[in-house]
Chains A and B, each alone.
Chain A
C-alpha cells in the first residue's frame, strides 16, 4: 500500500515537472523524450542478454556499428532505404549473433565473469578495428529528406523524426514482454534466465536457448543499427559510447527489468536535455548519467541492508 502511494506521488511529481518544463521550454521535453527513445531502443537488447544469458556484452555498441555499416553498403549498392533495410539487417545480424554465440560466448558461459567481460570487450575491439582497417575511420552518412521532417507550433520548429526511436523502444519493450510470457520459446528463455539448472532438469536445452536469446538480441540491435544510420553518421568508434550508456541504463533499471529500461532512459534523456538548456551547465549533461547510476546503486544497497 505504502509502495503504491509512493509510486503515485512520484508519478504525480514527474507529471507536474513535465508540465512546468513544457511551459518553460517545450523543446527540453521534446528532445529529452526523443533522446530517451534512442537510448532505450539500443539498451533493451543488452538488457535481454544480461537478464537471461547473464553476460555483460561489452561489444553491444560495436555490433550495432557493424549492422549500420552493413546497412550503409547494402543501401549504397541497391538504393534501398535504411528503413526498408532494417528487417534484412536484423535477420543477418541475428544469424551473425548465433554464430558468434556458438563460436565464442558459449565457451565462456561457465568461466568466471571477468573472463566473459574480457571476451566481449575483445570482440568489440576486434569488430571496430576490423571496420577501421577495411573502411578507414572516415565517416559515412546517408542523407535522407524525411530525417529533417519538422512541426511548427507558433515560433517553435522542431524535428519529429527521432520520435521513431521512442516508438521502436516501446515496441521492443512490449514485444519482448509478449514473447517472454506468451510463446513457448520465450517461456523457456525466462525459465533458463531464472534457473538454468532447473530448466535443464525439465528438459529445456539451455545452451540452445541462450543462443536463441543472444541471436534475438543481436537481431534487435541490427535493426537499430539500420535506424541509427538514418539519424547519425557512422564510423568505427560510433558504437562504443552506447555500450557504456546501455549498460548503465540496464543497471539503473535492474537486471532483467526490460520495461524499467524505458523509465531509466526517460530519466536520463530528460535530465540531459534539461541541463543542456542552461549554457553554463551543459558540461554536466554527461556527468548526470553517472551521478544517476551511483545514486540508484547506493539507494539499492542501503535498502538491501535495511531489509
Chain B
C-alpha cells in the first residue's frame, strides 16, 4: 500500500512539474562589452520581474545567455547551441551588425521568432530579406537614425531660434562604422543643399590611433556650426582634451559613439557636449516606465544602467512575454501574429509597435534622440515631446 502511494505521489509531482515547465528564451549578447553585459542584465531583470508576477501562461521564464564576443562565428554557434541543445522557444539579443550577419543562416534554418536588440546596418536587413517574418528588429536601422537626426536638427532650429546650423563637419573613424556614417551624412545633409558638409577621417584610439590633431585642424579651418564625431568611446575624452588645447570652438560639439567611457559625465569637459542616443536616466523624471526600469536595475545590480541597450533588452523580454501571453503559446505563427499587435509602452519613451521598414516587415523603433550632457547627466533635447531640458547653445568657449 505504502509503495503504491509513493508511486502515485511521484507521478503527481512529475505531472505537476510538466504542466508548469518553463518557457525558454535564448539570449545572445557580447558579454565583455558594456552594451551586451548590461543588455543581458536588463533582460535578466525583466525575466525576474515577470516570474515574480506569476510568469507567463502559468510557466516561469528561463533566460539562457550565450556570449557572442561580437564575432560572427561565435554568434552563429550561439544560435545553433541555443536551438539544438537548450531547446529555446524564442531568441533575443544582438548588438553588433557583424555578429548579427553571422547569425542569419542559422536564424533562417530554424525559423524561430527573433527579437533583435541591435544591428543598425542596413546590410543586415538585406541579408534577411523580405520573407523573414519571424525577425522583429527593435533597434533603428542606420537610415532610420540618419533621417531622425535630420528631422531633429530641423525641429531644434525651428523651436530655438538662436540655434543656426548651416555648416556641418564630420570627423569619422577610418573603419567601416565611420565610413558608413560619412556616407550617410553626405547623403542626408549634403545632397539637400540645406547644409554645407565637410568631413575628415581619423584613426580611432580603439584601433591603435588616438591623435586627433589633423582632423581637428581641418575642422577648425572649416568653422562648423555643428561638429560631429563618429568614433568609439576611447576617443571621447582625449578628443575633447585636444580640442580644448587647440581652442576649437564649434557651435555644437556632438559625439556619436556606441557607448561613453566610464565616468565621462564627471569630467568638466563633458559639459554641454551633445550626443545621439535612445535613452538617458534623466527620462526617469518624465517617464514612469523608465523610472520603473531604472530603479529595478539599480536595486538588483547595485549599478546604474549606462547604455540604452539595457532598456532596449528589458523591453525585448516584456514584448515577447506579452505576445506569448496573448498568443497562449510559443508556436511561431501564433506568436508572430501576437507580436504584430504589440503596443508596448517602453522605458525608452515611446510606445513600441512593429511596422514595415525598407526590407523587413517588423521594424520597431525608428527614431533616435538628441541628448546633451548637462551637469554630469544626459538630458533629452529632442524629440521635443520627450525633452528633459532645453539645449545649451552655443557650445561655450574654452576657458
- B289 CB within 8 Å of chain A: no
CB distance from B243 to the nearest CB of A (A): 9
Q: How far is the CA of A283 from the CA of B398 in the complex (A)?
A: 31
Contact residues, B242-265 vs A (CB, 8 A): 242, 244-247, 259, 261-263
B87 at the interface (CB under 8 A from A): no
CB within 8 Å of B: which A49-71 residues: none
B174 within 8 A of A: yes
A183 contacts B by Cβ under 8 Å: no
B238 within 8 A of A: yes
| A108 surroundings in chain B (CB, below 8 A) | none
Specify which chain A residues have a CB less than 8 angstroms from the CB of B333 in the assembled complex.
none
Interface residues in A253-307 (C-beta closer than 8 Å to B): 273, 276-277, 279, 282-283, 285-286
**Interface pair B246/A286, CB less than 8 Å apart:** no
User: By the criterion of a CB under 8 Å from any partner CB, how many residues of chain A are at the interface?
Assistant: 40
Query: Given the interface contacts A152-B247, A277-B214, does A141 sit within 8 Å of B34 by beta carbon?
Result: no
Q: How far is the CA of A148 from the CA of B398 in the complex (A)?
A: 10
Q: Kindly state whether residue A115 has any CB partner on chain B within 8 Å.
A: no
Interchain CB contact under 8 A, B214 and A276: yes
Interface residues of B in 355-369 (CB under 8 A from A): none
Q: Chain A residues near B214: list those with CB within 8 A.
A: 31, 273, 276-277, 282
Residue numbers in B under 8 Å from A152 (CB-CB): 247
A238 within 8 A of B: yes
Verify if A240 is at the interface (C-beta below 8 Å from B). yes
A154 within 8 A of partner (CB): no
Q: Does residue A150 face the partner (Cβ distance < 8 Å to B)?
A: yes
Give bound CA distance, A69 to B353, whole Å.
Answer: 44
Bound form: Cα–Cα A158–B216 in Å: 11
Contact of B234 among A147, A157, A233, A277 (CB under 8 A): A233
Q: Cα distance A237–B203 when bound, in Å? A: 15
Q: Do residues B245 and A158 form an inter-chain contact, with CB atoms below 8 A? A: yes
- CB pair B246–A237 under 8 Å, yes or no, is no
In the bound complex, CA of A27 to CA of B220 (Å): 13
A282 surroundings in chain B (CB, below 8 A): 174, 200-201, 214
Q: A141 to B33, Cβ gap below 8 A?
A: no
Would B233 and A139 count as touching, CB distance under 8 A? Answer: yes
Bound complex: CA A242 to CA B205 (Å): 11
Collect the chain A residues with CB atoms within 8 Å of residue B269's CB: 143, 148
* B217 is an interface residue with CB less than 8 A from chain A: yes
A132 within 8 A of B: yes
A27 and B213 in contact, given A139-B261, A286-B203 (Cβ under 8 angstroms): yes
Per the bound structure, the CA–CA distance linking A157 and B244 in Å amounts to 10
A52 to B244, CA, bound (A): 43
CB neighbours of B37 from chain A (8 A): 136
Is A233 a contact partner of B245 (Cβ separation < 8 A)? no
From A35, A158, A161, A242, B246 is in contact (CB under 8 Å) with A158
**Chain A: CB-nearest residue to B202:** A282
The answer to whether A149 touches B205, judged by C-beta atoms less than 8 angstroms apart, is no
Q: Do the beta carbons of B217 and A138 come within 8 Å of each other?
A: no
Say if the beta carbon of A101 comes within 8 Å of chain B: no
B248 to chain A, nearest CB (A): 8
Tell me, in angstroms, the Cα distance from A147 to B210 when the chains sit together.
Answer: 14
Contacts of A277 in B (CB 8 A): 214
Instruction: Tell me the minimal C-beta distance from B305 to chain A in angstroms.
Output: 13
Identify which of B200, B203, B238, B263 contacts A140 (C-beta below 8 A).
B263
Question: 1/0 contact trace for A11-36 toward B, CB 8 Å?
Answer: 00000000000000001000100010
* Chain A residue, CB-CB nearest to B398: A148
Q: Is B267's beta carbon under 8 Å from chain A?
A: yes
Nearest CB on A from B258, distance (A):
11
Choose among A138, A145, A157, A231 the residue that contacts B238 (Cβ–Cβ < 8 A): A231
Tell me how far the C-beta of B385 lies from the nearest C-beta in chain A, rounded to whole angstroms.
31
Given A140-B263, A231-B238, A277-B214, A283 and B174 contact (CB-CB distance below 8 Å): yes
List residues of chain B with CB within 8 A of the CB of A279.
200, 218
A159 to B218, CA, bound (A): 16
Which residues of chain B have C-beta atoms less than 8 A from A137's C-beta?
32-34
Residues of A within 8 A of B201 (CB): 282-283
A138 and B33 contact, Cβ closer than 8 Å, known pairs A143-B267, A143-B268, A279-B200: yes
Say yes or no for A203: interface residue by CB 8 A criterion. Answer: no
- Indicate whether B241 reaches chain A with its CB closer than 8 angstroms: yes
Q: Is B235 an interface residue (CB 8 A)?
A: yes
A83 CB → nearest B CB, Å: 15
B residues 196-251 near A (Cβ < 8 Å) are 200-201, 203, 205-208, 210-211, 213-214, 217-218, 232-238, 241-242, 244-247
Output the least CB separation between B242 and chain A (Å).
6
Chain B residues, CB < 8 A from A241: 207-208
Expressed in whole angstroms, the minimum distance between the Cβ of A224 and any Cβ of chain B is 14
Expressed in whole angstroms, the minimum distance between the Cβ of B158 and any Cβ of chain A is 34
Bound Cα distance A226, B34 (Å): 24
State whether B245 touches A149 (Cβ < 8 A): yes
Closest CB of chain B to A171's CB: distance in Å? 22
User: Once the chains bind, are B233 and A138 in contact (CB under 8 Å)?
Assistant: yes
- The reply to whether A235 and B246 contact each other, CB–CB distance below 8 Å, is no
- Contact residue among A132, A136, A141, A273 (Cβ-Cβ distance under 8 Å from B237): A141
The digit string for B37-54, where 1 denotes a CB below 8 A from any CB of A, is: 100000000000000000
- Residue in chain A with minimal CB distance to B220: A157
Do B261 and A148 touch (CB < 8 A)? no
Most buried by A among B211, B236, B244: B211
Task: Report 16 cross-chain contacts, Cβ distance below 8 Å, ordered by A residue.
Answer: A136-B32, A136-B33, A140-B261, A141-B238, A143-B241, A143-B266, A150-B245, A150-B246, A157-B246, A157-B247, A159-B242, A232-B210, A238-B234, A273-B213, A282-B200, A282-B201
* Additional 10 contacts, C-beta under 8 A, given A35-B211, A139-B261: A139-B206, A139-B234, A139-B262, A140-B261, A148-B241, A149-B245, A150-B247, A159-B241, A232-B234, A276-B213
The 3 closest A-B pairs by CB, nearest first: A241-B208, A159-B245, A143-B267
